[in-house]
Amino acid sequence: MTETRVLPLRIPILPGEGMDSWLEALSRRNGLTFSAFLRVLGLPRHSLTRPLVTDLPTASLRALEARTGLPPGRLDRAMIGPGFPFGPRRQRRCRFCPQCLAERKGRWLLRWWLPWVFACTTHGALLHDTCPGCGNGTRVRLPGHTHRFPPAVCTVGSRLASICGTDLTSAVLMPLASDHPVLAAQRRIDVLLADTAPITARTVLADLNHCTSWLMHTIDDHDVAPMGATIQQLWQHRPLATRTPADRVKPLGAAVSGVIAHTALPFLDTDDAFAVQAVRLLRARHDTPNKVIPRGMTTAQWSQLSPPTQRRFLHAGDHTMGALDRVRFSSCTSRARVPEPDDQSATARIRHVPQLLWPSWTVRLMPREGTQENLFRGIAAALLLLPGEPDLRARGVTDRLGPHLPNAMTVTLQRALKSSHPAVLTALCNLAHYLDDHGSPIDYERRRRLIPATPITPDEWRELCFRAGTQPGEQLNSKTSQAPRYLNAQRYLNQLLTGADLTDPRHPLALRSVSDRSRYFAFPPSLTLAQRDALHHHAVGILHDLNIDEPLTWEPPQECADGLALPGRRLDDLDLEEVRRIVITEQRAPREAARELDTTLTHIRFALERVPREPRTWGRRSSVGSWRLRQQAKSIFTADFLQREYVDNGKPLRDIARETGIPRPLAVAHARALGITVRRTRKPFPIDPAWLREQYLTHKRSTHDIAEELGTDDETVRRRLKHLKIPLRPPGVHSRTIMTKTDARLPRAVRAAVEGTLHGWLRLHRFQISMRFPSLDSAAQYLKAEPNALATQFQRLEHNIGTTLFKRAAFGRPQQPTQQGRQLLRSLDEARVQVLMISALQHDQITAPPDDHTLEAAHAKFRIRRNPSRPTPFSDITVERVRITGPTLTLLRDLLTRPREEFYGAEVIKRTGLEAGTLYPQLKRLERAGWLTSRLEDDVAWMSRATPGRGPGRRRTFYTLTAEGHRAAHLETQYRAKN
Say which range, 199-203, 209-213, 221-225, 958-962, has the weakest mean pLDDT.
199-203
pLDDT, tens digit, for every residue of 11-30? Answer: 889 988 988 889 888 888 88
Strand partners, 141: 48
Q: Fill in the DSSP letter of residue 416.
A: I
Cβ within 8 Å of residue 429, ≥6 positions away: 327, 330, 332, 333, 335, 387
Per the CB < 8 A criterion, the answer to whether 427 and 564 are in contact is: yes
Gap between the Cα atoms of 837 and 96, Å rounded: 157
Residue 652 backbone phi and psi in degrees, to 5: -65, 150
Per the CB < 8 A criterion, the answer to whether 701 and 708 are in contact is: no
Cβ within 8 Å of residue 269, ≥6 positions away: 275, 278
Whether 98 has a pLDDT exceeding 90, the answer reads yes
**Average pLDDT for residues 655-667, to the nearest whole number?**
80
Residue with the bigger pLDDT between 51 and 422: it is 51
- In angstroms, the Cα distances linking 496 to 141, 372, 516 are 76, 20, 18
- Split at pLDDT 50, 70, 90, the class of 732 is low
**Average pLDDT for residues 163-184, to the nearest whole number?**
89
Per the CB < 8 A criterion, the answer to whether 750 and 743 are in contact is: no
Gap between the Cα atoms of 36 and 512, Å rounded: 91
- Split at pLDDT 50, 70, 90, the class of 567 is confident
Residue with the bigger pLDDT between 20 and 866: it is 20
**Average pLDDT for residues 817-825, to the nearest whole number?**
91
Whether 866 has a pLDDT exceeding 80, the answer reads no
pLDDT at 136: 85
pLDDT at 751: 86
Say which range, 226-235, 478-487, 842-851, 899-908, has the weakest mean pLDDT.
478-487
Say which range, 16-30, 233-247, 496-510, 859-873, has the weakest mean pLDDT.
859-873
Residue with the bigger pLDDT between 421 and 139: it is 139
Mean pLDDT of the chain: 82
SS3 813: strand
Count of CB atoms situated within 10 Å of the CB of 437: 8
Whether 556 has a pLDDT exceeding 80, the answer reads yes
Output the pTM of the full model: 0.63
Gap between the Cα atoms of 562 and 413, Å rounded: 21
pLDDT at 533: 87
For residue 579, how far is the Cα from the chain centroid? Answer: 16
**Average pLDDT for residues 478-507, to the nearest whole number?**
80
SS3 678: coil
pLDDT at 249: 63
- Split at pLDDT 50, 70, 90, the class of 948 is low
pLDDT at 125: 93
Count of CB atoms situated within 10 Å of the CB of 883: 6
- Split at pLDDT 50, 70, 90, the class of 442 is very high
- Split at pLDDT 50, 70, 90, the class of 478 is very low
Q: Name the nearest CA neighbour of 874 among 966, 962, 979, 961.
A: 966
Share of the chain above pLDDT 70, in %: 89
Q: Which residues of 644-671 are buried (b: 16+ CB within 10 A; e: fewer)?
A: ebbeeeeeebeebbeebebeeebbbebb
Gap between the Cα atoms of 311 and 397, Å rounded: 22
Gap between the Cα atoms of 14 and 220, Å rounded: 41
What is the full DSSP assignment across 175-232? E--TT-HHHHHHHHHHHHHHSS-HHHHHHHHHHHHHTHHHHHHH--HHHHGGG-HHHH
pLDDT at 242: 56
Residue with the bigger pLDDT between 661 and 356: it is 356
Count of CB atoms situated within 10 Å of the CB of 736: 17
Highest-scoring range by mean pLDDT, 334-348, 470-484, 958-972 = 958-972
Per the CB < 8 A criterion, the answer to whether 934 and 927 are in contact is: yes
What is the full DSSP assignment across 546-573? TT--S-S-----GGGGTT---SS--GGG
Whether 738 has a pLDDT exceeding 60, the answer reads no
pLDDT at 870: 46
Residue with the bigger pLDDT between 296 and 508: it is 508
Count of CB atoms situated within 10 Å of the CB of 31: 11
- In angstroms, the Cα distances linking 450 to 385, 445, 453, 488, 494 are 22, 9, 9, 20, 11
pLDDT at 505: 85
- Split at pLDDT 50, 70, 90, the class of 949 is low
Gap between the Cα atoms of 403 and 58, Å rounded: 58
Which H/E stretch holds residue 935? strand 932-936
Would you say how long the chain is, in residues?
Answer: 979
- In angstroms, the Cα distances linking 978 to 338, 868, 973 are 104, 12, 9
- Split at pLDDT 50, 70, 90, the class of 55 is confident
Say which range, 268-282, 658-672, 867-881, 944-958, has the weakest mean pLDDT.
867-881
Whether 115 has a pLDDT exceeding 70, the answer reads yes
According to DSSP, the β-strands at 174-175 and 125-126 are antiparallel
- Split at pLDDT 50, 70, 90, the class of 865 is very low
Gap between the Cα atoms of 208 and 262, Å rounded: 11
Highest-scoring range by mean pLDDT, 350-364, 417-431, 468-482, 859-873 = 350-364
Cβ within 8 Å of residue 499, ≥6 positions away: 354, 355, 356, 358, 381, 444, 447
pLDDT, tens digit, for every residue of 678-728? Answer: 776 666 677 888 888 888 888 878 888 888 888 888 888 888 888 888 888
Residue with the bigger pLDDT between 346 and 939: it is 939
Whether 119 has a pLDDT exceeding 90, the answer reads yes
Q: Name the nearest CA neighbour of 750 among 657, 692, 806, 820.
A: 820
According to DSSP, the β-strands at 932-936 and 816-817 are unpaired
pLDDT at 973: 85
Count of CB atoms situated within 10 Å of the CB of 925: 15
Of the chain, the end-to-end C-alpha distance in Å amounts to: 157
Per the CB < 8 A criterion, the answer to whether 570 and 527 are in contact is: no
Say which range, 60-64, 247-251, 867-871, has the weakest mean pLDDT.
867-871
Strand partners, 567: none
For residue 357, how far is the Cα from the chain centroid? Answer: 9
Residue with the bigger pLDDT between 571 and 619: it is 571
Highest-scoring range by mean pLDDT, 114-128, 289-303, 469-483, 741-755 = 114-128
Say which range, 427-436, 617-626, 825-834, has the weakest mean pLDDT.
617-626
According to DSSP, the β-strands at 957-961 and 932-936 are antiparallel
Whether 406 has a pLDDT exceeding 80, the answer reads no
